[in-house]
Amino acid sequence: MTETQPEAGRPDDDVVELASRLFDAARAGDEPTLRAYLEAGAPSSLANQAGDSLIMLAAYHGHAGVVRLLGEHGADVQAPNDRGQTPLAGAVFKGYTDVVDVLLELGADPDAGTPSARQAAQMFGRNELLQRFSL
């Protein structure tokens, strides 16, 4: 029996399946699964074809614990997706105060990205979040 090799430039099916599992865990807030994979060496900076990183997906779906876990494992809290949006701007857009707080603790810049988190807070009248950026 012979194994087939992936075409040049195309990831192996096992890698695609693992990445999919990690993206799903970030979206769902599955901290135990992500912790296990990160501790086994999975990259915290993994991003999908739209440039959405694991930390972006966790932030956008309101999972502060997963955001902290990823940040503690070296995920880039500033990494924009292909549309220039940062995890902090995503959390502001969705109104996830706890996620905003964690990202700020991890060093996220409220003025990074397009629109920035500060601009998003202004656009959506999220004054309570704007106040956090001045602290």
Strand partners, 6: none
Number of domains present in the structure of the chain: 1
Residue at 46 is within a domain? no
Residue at 124 is within a domain? yes
Residue at 1 is within a domain? no
The per-residue pLDDT string of the chain (135 residues; one tens digit each, 9 = 90 and over) reads 444 454 555 667 888 888 999 999 999 999 999 999 999 999 999 999 999 999 999 999 999 999 999 999 999 999 999 999 999 999 999 999 999 999 999 999 999 999 999 999 999 999 999 999 986
Residue at 68 is within a domain? yes
Residue at 102 is within a domain? yes
Residue at 3 is within a domain? no
What pLDDT shows up at residue 135?
Answer: 63
User: 79 near 53, Cβ under 8 Å?
Assistant: yes
Residue at 59 is within a domain? yes
Residue at 2 is within a domain? no
Q: Hey, what amino acid is at 72?
A: E
CA torsion through residues 49, 111, 45, 92, sign: negative
Where in the sequence is the domain holding 64, given as residue range(s)? 13-40+52-134
Residue 85 is part of a domain; what is its CATH number? 1.25.40.20
What pLDDT shows up at residue 43?
Answer: 94
pTM of the model: 0.88
CA distances from 61 to 1, 49, 90 (A): 43, 18, 9
